[in-house]
Amino acid sequence: MNSHTDFTGQVTKIRVLTLESMPLVRFTLSNEQQTFNCLIKTLSLRFLNEVIENSEITVYCIFNSRSQFVVNHYAVKGPTAIQYFFETSPYPSEHKS
């Protein structure tokens, strides 16, 4: 039986499993108590643009029969990957504050 749940943790081991118009992405999400393998497909391109290793995110997902979280929605806590790279870029910009 599939049940919906939410979980907050740190992202590690981001891997692209299939290269299609919507890639299948696998990552590990862990906190002090638990570690889960997660899959994301419908939001995978946005996920790859917003999340980097060690990002903290909250996911809303279904726990499937293979003990994997299938992610339906997620939220990044703190800066996204694009914000991080923009803020830490060594190149000067007229628009940086």
pLDDT in single tens digits along all 97 residues of the chain: 467 788 899 999 999 999 888 899 999 999 999 898 999 999 999 999 899 899 999 999 998 888 778 999 999 998 787 777 777 778 766 655 5
DSSP 8-state secondary structure symbol assigned to residue 93: -
Domains in the chain and their CATH numbers? 3-87 (2.40.50.140)
Structure tokens at 7: 């979980």
Structure tokens at 9: 């943790």
